[in-house]
Amino acid sequence: MPQLAKRMGRAKPSAIMAVAEKAKKLKAEGRDIISFSIGVPNFLPGEHVYAAAREALSHDSGQYGSNRGSDALLDAFLKHLEGSGLPGYTRRNLCVGVGAKHLLYNLAEALLDAGDTIAFATPYWTTYVDIADILEAKTLLLPCPPEQNYKLTPAQLDAALAQKPKVFLFNNPSNPTGMVYSKAEIEALAAVVAKHPDTWVVLDDIYNRLVFGDIGYHNFLHSQPQLRERTIVVDSLSKTYGMPGWRVGLIAAPESVAQAVVTLNSNHITNIPEVVSAAATAALSGPQDVTTGKVAEFAAKRDLVLDALAKIPGVVCPRPEGAFYAFPDISVAFGKTHAGSGIAIDSDVDVCNALLEVKGVACVPGSAFGEPRALRISYTCSTPQLTDGMARIQQFFAELV
């Protein structure tokens, strides 16, 4: 009997999807379930995006397209980059992909040989580890516990880069923590990166437009523009424009890296569809009010979540400033038992299973993101659902003995 490739022994299905599937199943059985599990935006793109898609459909060529992306889409992304303080790129620095996930995978293929090291902070977005595992790269995990607000410190980064990892991957705003680095914090980290010339830098900035309050979005290239020669900025339309299913991501990179990703595209996907490109171009270059409206809404929802968590003794939640996640430390529950059900709680997975079982609330265990003391709440559902779900979480903790 032929066997699957060895790499499939390393590839794991997404832990987030597993929770979401379980919640869906219980719902289908008639249970009253509130899902705080998947990080999906709760909105659709503006009408101009659909109009552009319809228009493109009416004169669709039906042909293969550019491996790099359509000129119109690349130009719209150049404008977007300029608007976020990153002028001076050309189309040759850019490449499109089937979402940021695909681009991160492509970048790992382009930059890492088997046995090379990729460094990133924990908590991390789950896929980072999975991509490294599939490609047989080593991971250098930089622990950023709740006590340091889940943020990487310059000293920590300095020590990590001194080990000369091939790639340093940095995510801001963060999934799963919602943390956003301030201008001063980014400048301090960028100064450290500048001291270590042997490492590629991949910035997963896909939540860059979902930042609350005054903290703003900053990246290493703002203060250290010379880092452009070894830095790749990864962006996506999924979260910002309510278009996760359209599957559009983009990178801005040194020409050699962008070209490598174009080459991989030519072998993996050829192109993204013409209609999708037109819709993505309209999203990037059209009115931005859908996104700005969502920023205000998510900030209010963040407050609701934090207020509810603050009422649970012993639960600590560093304050998220962006994206749509909260990542409370719930380790106060470990060693206790849920009084009504008799379920013993010894881990984040136990908390999430019991919460779903007893209260019908689905959260993702922090261990999926490398932090087993926490759980992730994705707060994109409606305000009444959010209020109800947070009340159920409060009750659950009140019932622990």
Binding site for ligand PMP (CB under 6 A): 39, 99-101, 125, 171, 175, 204, 206, 236, 238, 244, 249
Chain centroid offset of residue 284 CA: 19
Nearer to ligand PMP, 139 or 331 (CB): 139
Which residue number, 239 or 373, has a Cβ lying nearer to ligand PMP? 239
Q: Which is nearer to ligand PMP, 241 or 397 (CB)?
A: 241
Least Å distance between CB 39 and ligand PMP? 5
Dist CA 175 CA 157 (whole Å): 19
Cβ atoms 340, 399 nearer than 8 A = yes
Q: Sign of the CA dihedral 96, 100, 104, 109? A: negative
Of 202 and 386, CB closest to ligand PMP: 202
Nearer to ligand PMP, 35 or 238 (CB): 238
Instruction: Locate all alpha helices (DSSP H) within 219-288, ordered by sequence.
Output: 220-223, 255-268, 274-285
Cβ closer to ligand PMP: 345 or 368?
Answer: 368
Judged by CB, which is closer to ligand PMP: 11, or 159? 11
Residue 175 C-beta: closest distance to ligand PMP, Å:
4
From residue 370, alpha-carbon distances to 32, 73, 373 in Å are 29, 36, 9
Shortest gap between Cβ of 316 and ligand PMP (angstroms)?
23
Sheet order of strands, 249-252 included = 94-97, 249-252, 231-236, 200-204, 167-171, 117-122, 138-143
Cα within 13 Å of Cα(267), Cβ side: 8
Q: How far is the CB of 314 from ligand PMP (least distance, A)?
A: 28
Cα–Cα distance between 299 and 380 in angstroms, integer? 11
Q: How far apart are CA 128 and CA 124, in angstroms?
A: 7
> Rounded CA gap, 336 and 351, in Å?
10
- Select 258 or 315, whichever has its Cβ closest to ligand PMP: 258
CB 195, min distance to ligand PMP, A:
26
Query: Which residue number has the CB closest to ligand PMP?
Result: 99
**Least distance to ligand PMP from the beta carbon of 229, Å?**
23
Q: Count CB atoms within 10 A of the CB of residue 11.
A: 12
Least CB distance from residue 341 to ligand PMP, whole Å?
32
CA distance 304 to 390: 9
Q: In the bound complex, what is the minimum distance in angstroms from residue 237's beta carbon to ligand PMP?
A: 7
The tokens describing 16, both together, are: 């987030």
